[in-house]
Each structure stands twice: as C-alpha cells, then as structure tokens.
Structure 1
Amino acid sequence: MTSQAPAAPDKLDAAVLKIAGVVVLGAIMSILDVTVVSVALPTFQTEFDASYARVAWTMTGYTLALATVIPLTGWAADRFGTKRLYMAALLLFTLGSVLCATADSIGQLITYRVLQGLGGGMLMPLGMTIMTRAAGPQRIGRLMAVLGIPMLLGPIGGPILGGWLIDIASWHWIFLINLPIGVVALIYAQWALAKDSPEPSESFDFVGMLMLSPGLALFLYGVSSVPEAGTFGATKVWLPMLTGALLVVSFVLYSFKPKHPLLDLRLLRDRNLSVATITLAVFTVAFMGAGLLFPSYFLQVRGETTLHAGLLMAPQGIGAMITMPIAGTLADRIPVGRTVPFAVLLIAAGFFTFTQVGTDTSYLLLCGSLFVMGLGMGGTMMPIMTSALKTLTNNEVARGSTLLNILQQIAGSVGSALMSVILTNELNDSPAIPGAADPATGTPLTEAGVAIASQQNPAIAQQFPADLIQRGLAFVANSFGTTFWVAFFIILATLIPAGFLPRRRPQPLAPGEVADDRVAAPVILH
C-alpha cells in the first residue's frame, strides 16, 4: 500500500472549539456594542440635549477607529504575537467601555467610543487569524459559520439587551456590562490561547500607513458628516472627503512599488477575489445602511420603547441563525455562485415589505419579512468571504482578507450616510406648523418633527391637534418607505456581481496530494 497524507479532520474538534470560545466572546463584545448603541441614540439625544446627527457620531467614531486600525493589525500580530495583541485589544476595549459609562457630555462619549473602536477593530481580524491557524483553511466554511455566531447574537441580543438595560437602569449600563465580560474574556484568553512565538515580520510600510489610515479616516469622516450638514457642499463634508480621497488614491498609485505594501492591490487580478469584494461591498451599502433604520422606524413611527424595538428586530437574527451554519457547511462543498444569488433574492423579498411601511403596518408582516431577510443574510455574507479566501494562496490570504475588511467598513459607512441623507432630506420636506417654532433655536417646527417627538413624549402630543400628529406620522412613515426603496434597488443590483461568483466545483485532490500552499494559510490582516 502506498502511504497517504493524513486527512485533515472534517469537523471542528474540541481543541479548535476551545479557542473558538475566546474568539467568539471577544467578537460578541465588539458587535454587541454596535447594536446596543444603535437603540440608545434617542436616549443620548435626551440625556445630552444633542441632535440625532450629533449623537450618531457615537457610532461613526467607533467605525472610524476600526477603519484606521485594521491595516495595522496584521503587522502588529506578527511583531508582538496574536495572544499578546488579542489580550491588549480586549483590555483596551474594556477600558474604553468603562470610560464611556463615565462620560458627562456627548463630546466625551464620542472620544471614548473612538478608544473603544481602536480595541474593537483588532478583535475580529485577530480572532480570524487565531481561528484559521487552529482549524486550517480546508474547514474555512465551518470556521466562518462559528465566527458568524456573534453576528447572529448581535442583531438579536444587542437591541434587546440595550433596551432592557436602558428601561430598568440607565444608559450607562450598556457600557458597564462589558466590564465583567471583558474580565472573563481576558482570563479565558490567558488560559486557552497558546503561548506566543513571534516570528520576524516583513518590513512595515510606514509610507503606506501614513497615506492609507489617515486617508480612510478623513474620507469616512466626510461621508459621515453628510447627514448633519445636509449637503455634500458643506466644507466639513467635501474638504475631508477630498483630502482623504487624494491620500487613498496616492496610496493606490504607490502600493505597486514596494515589495510588501500595507495593502496589496495586485490581488485584485484574482477574479474570484475581485468579484467577491465587489459583491460584498454593494450588498453592505444596502443592507448595513438600511439596517440601522429598522429600529428607528419602530421608535419614531410606531412609538415603541427601546426594549420593544429590540424584540421586534429579533426575527432577523433568528432567521440568520437557521441558515448560517447550513451555508457554512455548503460553502465547503458547493460553489457559492449557486447559493448566494438565491439568498440575495430572499433578502430582496423580505425587504420589499419595508418599502410599503405605513403608520399601522402589521407587525406580523414586518416580523415575518425580517425573518425572511435573516434567512437570506445567513446565506450571503459568510459564503462570499469564504469564496474569496478559498481562492488565495498562503501569502495572499492575509492581504486578501484585508481588502475585504477595509472595503466592508467603507461600504457600511457609505451606506449608513447615504440612507441617513435620503431620510433626512425626505423629512426636511415636511410642512411647517404655522406659528410654531422651537423655543431654543427659533426654527419653525414641522409636522414630522413634532410627530416624532410626540411618540417618545406624550406631553408634546397633548399640545397639538391629533390630526396634525397623524399627518406627521404618515409623512415620516412615507419617508422611511422612500429610503427603503433606494436600499431595495441596491440589493437587487447585488445580483449583478453575484452572478459572476464561482459556479464550478473545484477538482478533488488525488490520494496523498496536498493542496499547494493553501494548507496552512493563516488569515492575517496586513
């Protein structure tokens, strides 16, 4: 008998699952904090007497920090070791959480959220690195399904937990809750993760870093300022956007010169990676952008509490919980080009309901639509990322995952800004109430503005006629519907690049054959 190479285990064994627990715990902290804060924005408006656009920076600042730190994570992991860096990221995130709870102004809260983001931005890519080294790329579909757990718990648990904590205690506890979780995660990481043995890393691209990280941060800052400014013509919008874009373009031109650039754009010659990247970016613009508006509809149009708004969002996470493990397994066996388009169509079918929302749309219909969207989401994001990573070699996987992570952050920020601008502009067209003005600013009050305020403060509703409040609510609901129409068409546009995803099954290996240099490909962000 001829000797054969030992077959890699098909399932994730106990050793891998022990390490997975560390990664999932850290990822849950960072993802939960995004969704928890999303339902707390109206509370921040009241507590800090700030506009919605201003308090939205508690989320935007977090995203900016993520985009800035992602390009540096891979080099730092090689230089200092994944265990040390992962524990440092956990510590920084937990410290930022505690500081957020002590903030007594919206400016302080935004600053501390940036600190949180610097730690949170490293948790997921470092977790990917640790997990892939333990499991191996031959099980990357199942690996993605495990890493998808926090992405499921975030949409389900985040709004519910945030609403519950705000209702029974105060907004401070949505941050303080991270303290015990962070301590447990640090102890668990010290016990479960193997001791670091850092290897000499390739030289760090300081020139690229000085162009890419500030460029991304400035560009996203400009994009995120659009909702507050209301126009792309404002200096605080176009100046950082233009400066950031010039820095990013400069980096693109420069990145083909060094041997080890911070971001290797040469990888886009790989057809599967480029198609997966485009598909993921288009999808993220629509889904992540509009996804932030679902809780706002329940809060502003239907007058729900933060807890109830969170509970109403749960069906989406439950739907994803059903399909994501299945999609992870199928991604190891069936080309994603045969599954992802059907998942996108499921999302579009569920999304269509929200283009028709009114002031009394059936909750059964809305929750059912969110469930269908969740089914589609579970079969979309992780399989696309799996497809991209599977096609790359040992050295390429690290840089390819960087492209996916950075473009996902950019697309999410652009999508959030786009949907916010559309909704804001729609609401600004609301009729003014004759003779009524804001006593603090003197600006005329609109029917939509009064209707939104009355949903969270019954005292305001008593000051205006009931038919005026109802007209305002109908206008707000129609504004949400118009915004959802834009997202709906962008989701349909995702089908175009998705149609080019691989549809052929890779050739099976001969007995004893080893799959070139993909066998030990670590997912490290460079």
Structure 2
Amino acid sequence: MSTPTQSKPAAAGEDNFSLKAILPPLMAIIVGMIMVILDSTVVNNAIPKLVTYFDTDLKTIQWTVTGYTLALSAVIPLAGWMTDKFGSKPIFMTTIALFTLGSILCGIAQTPEQLIIYRIIQGLGGGMVGPIGMAMVFKLAPPERRGSIMGVLGIPLLLAPAFGPVLSGWLVDSVSWHWIFFINLPIGIIAFILGYKYLPKSDRHAAPHLDIMGMCLAPIAFSMLAYGVSEGGTSWSSASTITGLTVGGLALILFIFVELRQKQPLLELKVFKSSDFTRSIILTWVVQLALFGAMLIVPLYLQGVMHYSALEAGLILMPYALCAALGMPISGRLFDKIGARPLAFGGLTVVSVALYMLSGISVDTPLRVIILCLCMMGLGMGFSMMPLNTHVLNAAPRRLVSRVTPLTTAAQQVVVSFAVAGLTGYLTSQIALHAASAGADANPLSAVVAGYGDTFFLSACLVTAAVALTLLLRKPKQQEEESTAGGNNPDPAIMGH
C-alpha cells in the first residue's frame, strides 16, 4: 500500500528545511494527539465520582473505559485504508471532529448507558488520531531530521499522562465531572483550525481491498470476550458469563480463520509464525494486562478507601507517570547496547516487587509507601515497555514489519479492555467474598481492603510470570529483506492493509 504524499510546508530531503517551517502543522498534530491521550487518563481518576453520580456500580461504569478502548482497537487497523482512500489531512480532521463531538455528548450524558455509548463514539474518533498523526509527522521532515522532530513531539506526549489525572481531579472537585469531557471542546476546535490551515494536502491513492468480514468479526469477538470476563467477576458459571465467552470465543476462532485466508487481512496474523515475535508479544500482553488494570485500581483505592479527593489522588498518581517518562529515554539508549532482555527483566522485577508490596496494603499503610510503590512501578514500566515494544518490531519478519504496528497497537487496546473488565470484576468478587466470610459483625472496610490486596496480588503474579518469560527473549534472527526493498515502503505508522 502506498502512503499519502505530503506537499508543503516540508518535503523530505529539502535543503532549506527548518523546524520553524513545520512548527504550525506539527502543533496541529500535537494538540490533537494530546487531546486523545489526556482523555485516556482523565476518566480513570473520575470513575469513583461517576459511580456515585449515576448511582451505579463499578462493573457497569468500567465499560466507559472498556467500550472506549475496544472502539479504539476497532478503527486503528483502518487508518491506512482510510488515508489511501480519502487522504491523511481530511481523515485526521474528521477524526478530531468526531472525537470532539463524542466528548460533548459524554458531557451531557444522563445515564451510564448513554455515557458508555458516547465513549464508544469518542473511541471511534480517537483511534485514528495517533497513527495518522505519527505518519504525518514522519512525512514532514527528511530522514536525517526526524529524530529532532520526534523529540519535539515526544515531550508533550510524555507529560500528558502525568498531568491528566491531576487535571481530572481538579475538574471533578472544583467544577464538575462533565468538564473532563467538555474541556476537549476548545482543544478540539484549536486542533481542527490549525489542521485546516496548516496541515499539508495529501494525495489520494487507490485503496486496497477492505476486509469487511474481519472488520465485523473483530469487535464482536473482543467485546463479547470482555463482557464475559467482566461478568465472570460475579459468577463464572452464570448464563451471561458463559454466553459472552462462548460467543466471543466462536467469533474469535472465525476471525482468525478469515484473517489467515485473506490476501489483504485487517490484521496480519501470519506474523505469529515467527516464534520470536510470538514470545515477545505474549510477554508484552501479560505486562499490559497487569499494569493497566492495576493503574485503574489505584485511584479507586485512594478515593474509596483512603478518602482522598480526586485532585489529591491525581497528584499522588503523578510520580508514576513522571518516573515512567524518566525511564523511557534511558532505556532507549541502553537498548541499543544491551538489548531487551536485561532491561525487561530488571524493570519488570521492580514492578513485581512494587505490586507485591501493594498486595499487603491495609488501612494503616502510610501514603509514602503507596507513592514509593507507584514510583517503582513507573520506573520499572519506563525501563521495560519501550525495549519490549521495540523488540516485538525487531522480531517480526522483515516482509511483514509494516503490518505489525496496526496489530500491536490494536491488540494493546484489546488487552487494556480485558485488564479493566477482568480486574474490576475480580475486585468486586473478592470484596464480596471477604465480606461474606467475615460475618455481619466485622468491619466492612476490612473486606474492601482485603479485596484490593487480592487484586494487587493477582497483578503481581502476572508480572512475575512476565519476569520469567523475559528469560526466553533472545536477539531476533536477522530476517531477509524483501526483494522489493529500497522502494517506497509502506509507512508502518498507519499500515493496515
């Protein structure tokens, strides 16, 4: 698949290239991507408030996160096809507009069901912003200057997750929860105006065949599996759990069968024939499952058990993101020298120790211990995730590498949805189990704290398993380049077909 050819303000290889010349279109992309990244972090910290406001339970409200991430995963693989068909600039602006519209609808939602539906609309818009934005950044400068451009882009994208929970807490405490969504309106308008005015036009290309069957089966499979996992928190033998897992499992089997027979599949599953790739991505999924689920549980504990405000919880969470941002560039430099295995082993060991410490949490646990654990988790994540993600790309066969990014990015969102659904369901069931075994005279808070401890322990066990899996990592075999190498290779940032 060919990628859109960008025109001015910069063209790869121009002698008169300057960062100043591409700053306006770069700002349009940065503002749009920051809006989506912020939204992915502000909602987690607002979940306790949403549960109270809508008078519902955690199992229901977690679908505001699960539905959103599943919607992201559904559209990410379509980015390449859409940009070929319509051009990168109009699609980027359309997705910004759709995301902003979804944000407004979320802010006026009257029921949890409405909020979940509107979050799905947000996800359908937000899923393409990242891959298309990164592809346009890649096109704005010649190869020898792309490092500096990515550095400019990376700073705000690293800081956004740190300030998202703080912004969310301030809005929830000082204004209202509605404004965690309404705040996207001015940001979206700015991104849209900047994009309309400064983003270079792109050529359209003949779009390849669209995998309709895969596009329909994937959301059914992953959403039903997530539903079954969520319901399993109440009872693994209930009709809803069995139905969700059965329908999702059958749809997943059919999806795999269809994708393996397609000449231009939605997701390139043939890459799993590489044992190096398979080991690497399974390890990455296990880590993501534990970390993303745990980081949803922490603000619930801070607000629900320790009675911190949403703003205070956001400030407490900030060291996690800052330590992760600190570790990522260091691990990037070390990766080139020592490879992924020692970095992943060391980083994940630190994460597992932190989660084991949190599993022993009690009502008397000092805040400084929780902050220490968050710092350890952030630093460990920063040192392990970038090397693991890079190792996954390196482990893919060279002829399929341009198809790997949509697969790994979409799969990450699916894993996040499973983590949220699974760990919140497990938390609910463990709290109920401890409450039932303690008796009527016991302190109900003890059962709640014990449930959180069990959930952190489960996350710790998952990361410990990941630590063991790092020992199986090895330097990927050098794959033979395709005979067509040297031409205009598809852009891995948006390749979907």
CA shift for structure 1 position 177 = 0.5
- Is the alpha carbon distance of 1:163 and 1:386 closer, same or farther for their aligned partners in structure 2, counting shifts above 3 Å? same
Is 2:461 the partner of 1:477? no
Match of 1:292 in 2: 296
Is 2:470 the partner of 1:498? yes
Match of 2:191 in 1: 185
Moved more, 371-380 or 287-296: 371-380
Match of 1:82 in 2: 88
Match of 1:454 in 2: none
Where does 1:150-161 land on structure 2 (aligned, <5 Å)? Answer: 152-161=158-167
Distance in 2 between residues matched to 1:250 and 1:240, nearest whole Å: 15
CA shift for structure 1 position 167 = 1.1
Contact kept in structure 1, 2:47 and 2:61, CA below 8 Å:
yes
Distance in 1 between residues matched to 2:352 and 2:295, nearest whole Å: 13
Where does 1:151-300 land on structure 2 (aligned, <5 Å)? Answer: 152-227=158-233, 230-300=234-304
Aligned-partner SS, 1:399: helix
Aligned-partner SS, 2:193: helix
Q: Which amino acid aligns with 1:108?
A: Q
Contact kept in structure 2, 1:351 and 1:488, CA below 8 Å:
yes
Distance in 2 between residues matched to 1:71 and 1:102, nearest whole Å: 30
- Is the alpha carbon distance of 1:376 and 1:47 closer, same or farther for their aligned partners in structure 2, counting shifts above 3 Å? same
Deviations 1:334-389 (A, max 9, x none): 52234222221222232232112111212122212211211111122233222333
Match of 1:455 in 2: none
Aligned-partner SS, 2:127: helix
Contact kept in structure 2, 1:142 and 1:329, CA below 8 Å:
no
1:522 aligned to which of 473, 492, 497: 492
Match of 2:414 in 1: 410
Where does 1:13-32 land on structure 2 (aligned, <5 Å)? Answer: 21-32=27-38
Contact kept in structure 2, 1:353 and 1:369, CA below 8 Å:
yes
TM-score, structure 2 as length reference = 0.86
Match of 2:73 in 1: 67
Where does 1:297-316 land on structure 2 (aligned, <5 Å)? Answer: 297-316=301-320
Contact kept in structure 1, 2:225 and 2:245, CA below 8 Å:
yes
Is 2:116 the partner of 1:110? yes
Match of 1:396 in 2: 400
CA shift for structure 1 position 139 = 9.2
- Is the alpha carbon distance of 1:147 and 1:304 closer, same or farther for their aligned partners in structure 2, counting shifts above 3 Å? same
Distance in 2 between residues matched to 1:224 and 1:238, nearest whole Å: 11
Contact kept in structure 2, 1:45 and 1:52, CA below 8 Å:
yes
Deviations 1:426-468 (A, max 9, x none): 211244699xxxxxxxxxx977xxxxxxxxxxxxxxxxxxxx6
Match of 1:364 in 2: 368
Moved more, 256-265 or 288-297: 256-265
Structure 1 segments unaligned to the other structure (5+ residues):
1-5, 435-444, 448-467, 508-513
Q: Which amino acid aligns with 1:523?
A: A
Q: Which amino acid aligns with 2:306?
A: R
- Is the alpha carbon distance of 1:344 and 1:14 closer, same or farther for their aligned partners in structure 2, counting shifts above 3 Å? farther
Distance in 2 between residues matched to 1:173 and 1:235, nearest whole Å: 38
Deviations 1:373-422 (A, max 9, x none): 11111122233222333455776233211221222122222222222222
Distance in 2 between residues matched to 1:60 and 1:150, nearest whole Å: 25
Match of 1:452 in 2: none
- Is the alpha carbon distance of 1:105 and 1:415 closer, same or farther for their aligned partners in structure 2, counting shifts above 3 Å? closer
Q: Which amino acid aligns with 2:187?
A: I
Q: Which amino acid aligns with 1:289?
A: G
- Is the alpha carbon distance of 1:7 and 1:187 closer, same or farther for their aligned partners in structure 2, counting shifts above 3 Å? closer
CA shift for structure 1 position 46 = 2.4
Distance in 2 between residues matched to 1:138 and 1:33, nearest whole Å: 33
Runs of 4+ in 1 over 3 A off after TM superposition: 6-9, 12-24, 131-155, 224-227, 328-334, 390-395, 430-434, 500-507, 514-522
CA shift for structure 1 position 187 = 2.1
User: How many positions carry a matched residue from both structures?
Assistant: 479
Aligned-partner SS, 1:232: coil
Is 2:328 the partner of 1:324? yes
Bigger radius of gyration, 1 or 2? Answer: 1
CA shift for structure 1 position 117 = 1.1
Contact kept in structure 2, 1:284 and 1:412, CA below 8 Å:
yes
- Is the alpha carbon distance of 1:18 and 1:280 closer, same or farther for their aligned partners in structure 2, counting shifts above 3 Å? farther
CA shift for structure 1 position 88 = 0.8
Q: Which amino acid aligns with 2:415?
A: A
Deviations 1:33-55 (A, max 9, x none): 23211122222222222222222
Contact kept in structure 2, 1:144 and 1:386, CA below 8 Å:
no
Distance in 2 between residues matched to 1:8 and 1:372, nearest whole Å: 44
Superposed CA RMSD: 3.3
Match of 2:343 in 1: 339
Q: Which amino acid aligns with 1:73?
A: A
CA shift for structure 1 position 57 = 2.0
TM-score, structure 1 as length reference = 0.82
- Is the alpha carbon distance of 1:272 and 1:130 closer, same or farther for their aligned partners in structure 2, counting shifts above 3 Å? farther
Distance in 2 between residues matched to 1:382 and 1:278, nearest whole Å: 15
CA shift for structure 1 position 148 = 5.8
- Is the alpha carbon distance of 1:121 and 1:335 closer, same or farther for their aligned partners in structure 2, counting shifts above 3 Å? same
Q: Which amino acid aligns with 2:36?
A: S
Match of 1:37 in 2: 43
Structure 2 segments unaligned to the other structure (5+ residues):
1-11
Is 2:98 the partner of 1:92? yes
CA shift for structure 1 position 97 = 0.5
Q: Which amino acid aligns with 2:265?
A: P
- Is the alpha carbon distance of 1:22 and 1:69 closer, same or farther for their aligned partners in structure 2, counting shifts above 3 Å? same
CA shift for structure 1 position 65 = 1.5
2:107 aligned to which of 98, 101, 105: 101
Distance in 2 between residues matched to 1:240 and 1:147, nearest whole Å: 40
- Is the alpha carbon distance of 1:57 and 1:505 closer, same or farther for their aligned partners in structure 2, counting shifts above 3 Å? closer
